[in-house]
Amino acid sequence: MRKPEQELADIKSMMERSTRFLSLSGLSGVMAGIYALIGSGMAWYWIEGSQSLGASPISNHFDLLNRLLILGSVVLILAIGTAFIFSRKKSQKNAHKLWTSASKRFMSALFIPVIAGGLFSFGLIHEGYFSMIPAATLIFYGLGLINASHFTINELKNLGLIELIIGLVAAFHPEIGLYCWAAGFGMAHIIYGAMMYYKYDR
Amino acid sequence: MKGSYDKAFENVVRLRVMSILMVNDQVDFNTLKDLLEVTDGNLASHLKNLEKQEYIQVEKSFVGRKPMTKYEATGEGKTAFQAHLDFLENLIKENKT
């Protein structure tokens, strides 16, 4: 008989491995970061353009807001779509199934805070607190990642903490909100995605 | 002494199968195989053994044309596993004092 400590450790690790979603693809994180950087660049260009042109401020403002909303949605859909396709590929390669109880738990842990954050951001737009949007999206996303990290690789928790910290910085310095957004959704994703790719996917 | 040592869980594959089934409602054969990294034959014989003791129950179905076998811990199996866990925990406690 093996040592009882060893037996218990074995049992615990098996319970963990069977309840965690491990098909999350590192490359999809890198791609999401690239989309976010391109999106931030376009947003920066539009915002700078609208400020220097000095056209009628109100109509310009609404036009800009609509464009930014569409841009944000496109970035989000591309990122989620890529994550889905890459994770499906990875699960097929490892002959795992994508829709397991573990992946469902992971999804609900991530998306409940993220969807709440998205709706909250619409509330902010509705009430005119535009400067708080980068902070709100980053903070809710960070909380979602920390929550979801219980059901996938542990490192996701660190990414969540980074998003959370950048979000809080953006809350007190809304003037650099767009840079925070680019750092959190862009750079952090690329760096973490690349690290995960080298650690788990190769 | 609380708990009891269960011979059924002496083997590491059976112990692991039961660990997985304690925290998941239903698990299919291939998922078990992937998690445990054992051969088909080895896993099948251990599953048969657990099934014979009525610690797990089997549900066979078809997904398209592929047969799908799902395993689930029975109440009896869960109780036995818990008793085994208690035994191990008590053993550790006793060794410490």
B45-83 pLDDT, tens digit per residue, is 999 999 999 999 999 988 888 888 999 999 999 999 999
Cβ neighbours of B27 (radius 10 Å): 22
* 8-state DSSP, B59: E
Residue A15 lies in a domain: no
Residue A132, pLDDT score: 93
**Look-up of token digits 């909380």:** A143
Over residues A35-58, the pLDDT tens digits come to: 999 999 999 998 888 776 655 555
Those residues with Cβ within 8 angstroms of residue A202's Cβ, 6 or more apart along the chain or in another chain: none
Of A12, A19, A96, the CB nearest to B34: A96
Over residues B22-53, the pLDDT tens digits come to: 988 888 898 888 788 889 999 999 999 999 99
Interface predicted TM-score of the whole assembly (ipTM), two decimals: 0.84
**Look-up of token digits 């954050």:** A117
CA distance A56 to A45: 18
Q: What is the Cα gyration radius of chain B?
A: 15
Residue A44: which domain range?
24-201
Q: Which residues of A touch B23 (CB under 8 A)?
A: 15, 18-19
Average per-residue pLDDT for chain A: 88
Those residues with Cβ within 8 angstroms of residue A166's Cβ, 6 or more apart along the chain or in another chain: A138, A142, A180, A183, A184, A188
**In this structure, what token pair is assigned to residue A46?**
């539009």
Is the CB of residue B45 less than 8 Å from the CB of residue B12? no
> Mean per-residue pLDDT for A17-38?
89
Q: Positive or negative CA dihedral for A186, A191, A192, A196? A: positive
Domains and CATH numbers, chain B: 7-96 (1.10.10.10)
Q: Which residues of B touch A101 (CB under 8 A)?
A: 24-25
Count structural domains, chain A. Answer: 1
Q: Which residues of A touch B10 (CB under 8 A)?
A: 1
Residue A59, pLDDT score: 58
On whether any CB of chain A is under 8 Å from the CB of B34, the answer is yes
CA distance B51 to A88: 33
- Rounded to 5 degrees, φ, ψ at A47 are -65, -45
> Mean per-residue pLDDT for A171-190?
95
Residue B57, pLDDT score: 94
Q: Positive or negative CA dihedral for A4, A6, A7, A13? A: positive
Those residues with Cβ within 8 angstroms of residue B25's Cβ, 6 or more apart along the chain or in another chain: A101, B72
On whether any CB of chain B is under 8 Å from the CB of A18, the answer is yes
Residue A191 lies in a domain: yes
Residue A112, pLDDT score: 96
